Amino acid sequence: MKLSRRFLFFLYAVPCTLYASLPAWAAEAAGAAGQASDASVSYFVWTVAGASFGLALAAAACGIAQSIVVRQGLEGIARQPEAAGPIQTAMILGLAFIESLVIYVLLVALILLFVNPFAKHFVV
């Protein structure tokens, strides 16, 4: 059974979006109880949205870049099989560097979500 791209997009995007919005719903419930102001709720909503969007963009770019690296590496090995060792080593090293950039974005997103270094400027 082959699934369409649109269906797969909604299959992954909708749960991810709902999961990313959970802190916003929790912040709104706290605001209703008188524990948080509208500015703090807005700050946390934008923080979650920004971190989610940044991580999704970085992961998409990483996937595209890794596919290009693998395609070019395999083309190089197919054209010159005797150079397969050095090409494969360079390809794996390049894939590790590409993946490390996504890990850095994940680290920044986690810092924004849990440490909130700018919260003292926006939360009243």
- For residue range 75-89, what is the model confidence (pLDDT) as tens digits? 999 999 999 999 999
pTM of the model: 0.61
Whether residue 12 lies inside any domain: the answer is: no
pLDDT of residue 64: 94
Both structure tokens of 11:
């299959």
CATH code where residue 82 lies:
1.20.20.10
Average pLDDT over residues 102-106: 92
Whether residue 70 lies inside any domain: the answer is: yes
* Domain ranges, residue 111: 58-124
Whether residue 30 lies inside any domain: the answer is: no
Q: Tens of pLDDT along 19-50? A: 666 666 665 555 455 555 666 677 788 888 88
> DSSP alpha helices (H): ranges in the chain?
5-20, 22-32, 38-79, 84-110, 119-122
Whether residue 82 lies inside any domain: the answer is: yes
Are 101 and 59 in contact by the 8 Å Cβ rule? The answer is no
Whether residue 99 lies inside any domain: the answer is: yes
- In total, how many domains does the chain have? 1
